[in-house]
Amino acid sequence: MAQGHHWPSWVSNPTGRTVLSTHDHPEEMDRGVTDLWSENAGLTDAEMEEVDDDLTHPGPDTESTASMEDRMAQQLYQIDFLKDVVTSRDQTIRDLEGRLQAYKQHFLRVQAQSAIDEQQKMMLASLRRQVHALEIDRDKALAMSKTRLEELRAVNVYLTKADAVSEADVIRMVERLNFEIFQTACAMAEAFAEQIQPVDDKNATISGVDAADKRLCERAGSAIGPMMISLLKRMARKQNPIGLQIAFQAVITVVATRNLALWLFGHGDVETVFCKVSTEVEKGEDQALSGRWRAITSHYTQRLYPVDTDRVTSQLIRLSLDILRISGVSERALSNVKETYGPRMRRIFDLVVSVRKTIGEEITTCTFQPIVATRGLGFSPDTMIDEFSPNDYRIQRVLCPSGIGLERREKINHIVGDPTENRRTILLKSKVVTDSIVNELE
């Protein structure tokens, strides 16, 4: 309702009774109506019409001023209450509008986030494809790297200049092998010298060995030679252990040296092929390549064809028995040879295998070659040493070997006139027994 509305000349309460006349207190009524109007400005049109109707149509009874004031107080209280309701509704509307705005903002954020999530999903899918492609490239690179690494390792094998063991170590190993051979030969000679049965010159039979038993002499003679066989027969009359010691040293030295030089144990035909191939490789290739070829070939041949230690030990025992029979030792004394000296023979052959592995697989910068003097060869003080006559330099011949020597061979490249020349150095002289001892023993 407009603020310039003209109120009626009286006001009545809802009961219809007259409350206050404008003729009674015109100034106060005008002021009260004005205040009432200002306070009820927020009423609805229907409520204002009800108030106007009460004012213009008073009831038949006129109330007192006190009742009018109470009515006015109640009316003001209702107005205040309505104002509170309106204020509460306005606050509710503002809250709803705020929540609506918040929902709108949240929806916009969700919508924006959905768009971002979709974009991120696309980016994630793209990244996964890229990662997959990178993994494929990585696997290819790793495979190629592994291949290149294996190739480099293979090449590095041939470029390696350092040996796994030193020259001094190899010399000590050979010296230890010679010492074990010497100790075993001395022990056997001392043990069986007293078991020799003396015979006179007229007796043709020596401990069951007669002139017809050629096979026994030939088998032992292949290791120590016919001259040493003859010496053993002649010394049977004196029970001298020196002859037995020399014979045992010769047999063990020859068998050990043969096995040191073998590519394969017990495979004669294949051994010949390997020796020929090795010789051609050493001639046609430089030292690093030929040395590495030797090391690799030796390693895998031993893996395919392992050493038969029992077989070689039995061979040494059999040859030792042959020597004892030739020397005139009784058969009764030979019954425990294998049990007593078999472990020592096995220990010697274990050393042979160790030396063979070292010089064959762990040395590539040069070639270490075990050497043994040949029977009947002229004595050479540069490469040999006579164990029984070390200072006798008369012209002598080798009766039999008694120890293993060691030679180093190095291939010298780019030498004018002979690009494949080998430099040979004697590191350990081979030990021998010369024929000068024959007169001393007899």
**CA–CA gap between residue 99 and residue 380 (Å, rounded):** 118
* Range with the largest mean pLDDT of 4-13, 24-33, 87-96: 87-96
Backbone angles phi and psi of 311, in degrees to 5: -65, -45
Residue 8 pLDDT > 90:
no
Which of residues 250 and 55 earns the better pLDDT score? 250
pLDDT (tens digit per residue) in 195-204: 777 654 434 3
* % the chain with pLDDT above 70: 73
**CA–CA gap between residue 366 and residue 260 (Å, rounded):** 17
Which of residues 317 and 238 earns the better pLDDT score? 317
Backbone angles phi and psi of 422, in degrees to 5: -105, 135
The Cα angle at residue 170 between residues 248 and 285, in degrees rounded to 5 = 115
**How far are the Cα atoms of 260, 262, 275, 278, 301 from residue 270, in angstroms, in the given order?**
16, 10, 9, 12, 11
Mean pLDDT of 355-360: 92
Mean pLDDT of 29-49: 52
Average model confidence (pLDDT) across the chain: 77
The gap from C-alpha 151 to its chain's centroid, in whole angstroms, comes to 18
pLDDT (tens digit per residue) in 385-435: 888 776 665 668 888 899 999 999 887 754 444 545 678 899 999 999 888
pLDDT (tens digit per residue) in 164-197: 889 999 999 999 999 999 999 999 998 888 777 7
Q: Which pLDDT belongs to residue 172?
A: 95
Beta-carbon contacts of 126 under 8 Å, excluding residues fewer than 6 positions away, are none
Confidence of residue 267 (pLDDT cuts 50, 70, 90): low
Q: Which pLDDT belongs to residue 51?
A: 54
| Residue for token pair 């017990």 | 266
Mean pLDDT of 19-30: 43
Q: Which pLDDT belongs to residue 333?
A: 81
Q: Which pLDDT belongs to residue 180?
A: 95
* Range with the largest mean pLDDT of 26-30, 40-44, 199-203: 40-44
The gap from C-alpha 282 to its chain's centroid, in whole angstroms, comes to 34
**CA–CA gap between residue 154 and residue 148 (Å, rounded):** 10
Mean pLDDT of 303-314: 84
Residue 71 pLDDT > 70:
yes
Residue 4 pLDDT > 50:
no
Which of residues 64 and 167 earns the better pLDDT score? 167
Beta-carbon contacts of 81 under 8 Å, excluding residues fewer than 6 positions away, are none
3-state secondary structure 305-324: CCCCHHHHHHHHHHHHHHHH
Q: Which pLDDT belongs to residue 48?
A: 59
The gap from C-alpha 84 to its chain's centroid, in whole angstroms, comes to 87
Whether the CB-CB separation of 365 and 287 falls below 8 Å is answered with: yes
**CA–CA gap between residue 264 and residue 277 (Å, rounded):** 14
What type of residue is 376? G
Region of residue 239 (left: phi > 0; alpha: psi -120 to 50; beta: else): left
3-state secondary structure of 405: strand
Whether the CB-CB separation of 240 and 388 falls below 8 Å is answered with: no
Backbone angles phi and psi of 64, in degrees to 5: -80, 170
Which of residues 115 and 420 earns the better pLDDT score? 115
| Residue for token pair 């425990």 | 336
Taking the CB of residue 304, how many other CB atoms lie within 10 A of it? 7
Minimum mean pLDDT range among 138-147, 175-184, 225-234: 225-234
Q: Which pLDDT belongs to residue 74?
A: 86
Whether the CB-CB separation of 223 and 184 falls below 8 Å is answered with: no
Residue 408 corresponds to which tokens in the numbers above? 């180093």
Minimum mean pLDDT range among 42-46, 129-133, 300-304, 405-409: 42-46
**CA proximity to 381, closest of 372, 391, 371:** 391
Beta-carbon contacts of 35 under 8 Å, excluding residues fewer than 6 positions away, are none
Residue 211 pLDDT > 90:
no
In order, the DSSP letters of 277-298 are HHHHHHHHS-HHHHHHHHHHHH
pTM above 0.75, yes or no: no
**CA proximity to 294, closest of 353, 356, 354:** 356
Which of residues 442 and 243 earns the better pLDDT score? 243
Which of residues 382 and 411 earns the better pLDDT score? 382
Taking the CB of residue 313, how many other CB atoms lie within 10 A of it? 21
